[in-house]
């Protein structure tokens, strides 16, 4: 965990996360990143210089640690690919330390047409790293979503295992978002939650996990008549759109393959 968010190890001294997770006041060495139960002092934080806190454009951040991470069977770095194509409806995975969705508060809330806010949803705290499969979506799913009815059937055709996490995401403006640098993903009861920000959107290539996106923002919509279900619309920063930036800011210590 890092700054009440999630991050991904991309080098033994570098973590990739979201720029909106950066604390307002950072003093060298005053904050830690917790990795596998161990605290590592943070040397510096580098958010993208063009990050917009209102639209969340270019929501990407690098964190350098003072000391190298101790890699083990349970702790290692993720792969980054320069040329990565992921088709719509491919099954990906998201991971993080986000809160757990429990239920929508009232039946009336499930029939509203607007997205749910935090006052209309019950969730519980979580200290475990959790993951869940999600579907890669067309951008219109996140920005012009209307149909809830076939979510479970669509997902069942692509996933055979039962997911382990639930979804609640905070909302943000979608104006002026450059689609070539973002990803839409989500589904019924499958997505990211508050606390998952900065965490990875992952796909499998050549039998290895590859980071495709960084959790940025999203929203949840009710499923009419169902207190225990929501539909997640998640927006992720596309990592391979920033490979040159990552290489530059890490002095080529981290490069995309």
95 and 219 assigned to the same domain: yes
Q: Which of 13-27, 30-44, 107-121, 171-185 has the lowest mean pLDDT?
A: 171-185
Cβ atoms within 10 Å of 244's Cβ, excluding its own: 12
29 and 152 assigned to the same domain: no
Whether the Cβ atoms of residue 166 and residue 196 lie closer than 8 Å to each other: no
Q: Is residue 62 part of a domain?
A: yes
220 and 138 assigned to the same domain: yes
Closest CA to 3 of 188, 173, 17: 17
66 and 143 assigned to the same domain: no
Question: What CATH number is associated with residue 41?
Answer: 2.40.10.10
Rounded-to-integer distance, Cα 63 and Cα 86, Å: 27
Give 87-124 pLDDT, tens digit per residue: 999 999 999 998 999 999 999 999 998 999 989 999 99
Rounded-to-integer distance, Cα 169 and Cα 99, Å: 10
Q: Is residue 254 part of a domain?
A: no
Give 180-235 pLDDT, tens digit per residue: 899 999 988 888 988 899 999 999 999 999 999 999 999 999 999 999 999 899 99
95 and 167 assigned to the same domain: yes
25 and 118 assigned to the same domain: no
Looking at per-residue confidence, does 57 or 167 come out higher?
A: 57
Residue 1 pLDDT: 66
118 and 165 assigned to the same domain: yes
The pLDDT of 230-243, averaged and rounded, is 95
Closest CA to 96 of 167, 184, 14, 176: 167
104 and 68 assigned to the same domain: no
Q: Is residue 123 part of a domain?
A: yes
Rounded-to-integer distance, Cα 212 and Cα 240, Å: 7
Closest CA to 170 of 8, 1, 4: 4
108 and 222 assigned to the same domain: yes
Q: Is residue 201 part of a domain?
A: yes
- pLDDT cut 70: percent of the chain above it: 83
pLDDT at 150 over 50: no
Q: Is residue 2 part of a domain?
A: no
Sorting pLDDT into bands at 50, 70 and 90, what band is 71? very high
Residue 46 pLDDT: 95
Q: Which of 34-48, 106-120, 125-139, 170-184 has the lowest mean pLDDT?
A: 170-184
Residue 146 pLDDT: 44
Whether the Cβ atoms of residue 18 and residue 237 lie closer than 8 Å to each other: yes
108 and 187 assigned to the same domain: yes
Q: Is residue 255 part of a domain?
A: no
63 and 161 assigned to the same domain: no
Q: Is residue 83 part of a domain?
A: no
Helix-strand-coil split of the chain, %, nearest 5: 15, 40, 50
Closest CA to 126 of 39, 197, 193, 213: 193
215 and 143 assigned to the same domain: yes
Q: Is residue 234 part of a domain?
A: yes
Our count of domains for the chain comes to: 2
- pLDDT cut 90: percent of the chain above it: 64
Domain that holds residue 140: 91-240
Q: What is the DSSP letter of 252?
A: T
């Amino acid at each position: 965990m890092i700054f009440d968010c999630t991050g991904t190890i991309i080098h033994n001294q570098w973590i990739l996360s979201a720029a909106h997770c950066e604390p307002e006041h950072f003093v060298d060495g005053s904050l830690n990143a917790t990795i596998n139960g161990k605290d590592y002092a943070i040397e510096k934080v580098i958010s993208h210089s063009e990050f917009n806190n209102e639209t969340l454009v270019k929501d990407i951040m690098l964190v350098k640690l003072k000391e190298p991470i101790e890699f083990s069977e349970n702790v290692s770095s993720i792969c980054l690919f320069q040329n990565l194509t992921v088709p719509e409806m491919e099954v990906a995975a998201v991971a993080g330390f986000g809160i757990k969705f429990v239920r929508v508060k009232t039946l009336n809330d499930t029939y509203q047409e607007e997205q749910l806010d935090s006052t209309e949803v019950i969730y519980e705290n979580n200290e475990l790293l959790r993951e869940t499969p999600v579907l890669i979506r067309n951008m219109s799913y996140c920005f012009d979503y209307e149909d809830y009815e076939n979510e479970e059937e669509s997902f069942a055709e692509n996933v055979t295992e039962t997911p382990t996490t639930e979804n609640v995401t905070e909302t943000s403006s979608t104006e002026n978002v450059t689609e070539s640098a973002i990803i839409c993903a989500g589904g019924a009861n499958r997505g990211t939650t508050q606390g998952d920000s900065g965490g990875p959107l992952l796909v499998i290539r050549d039998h290895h996990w590859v980071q495709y996106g960084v959790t940025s923002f999203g929203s949840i919509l009710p499923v009419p008549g169902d207190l225990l279900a929501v539909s997640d619309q998640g927006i992720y920063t596309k990592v391979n759109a920033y490979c040159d930036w990552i290489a530059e800011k890490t002095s080529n210590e981290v490069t995309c393959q």
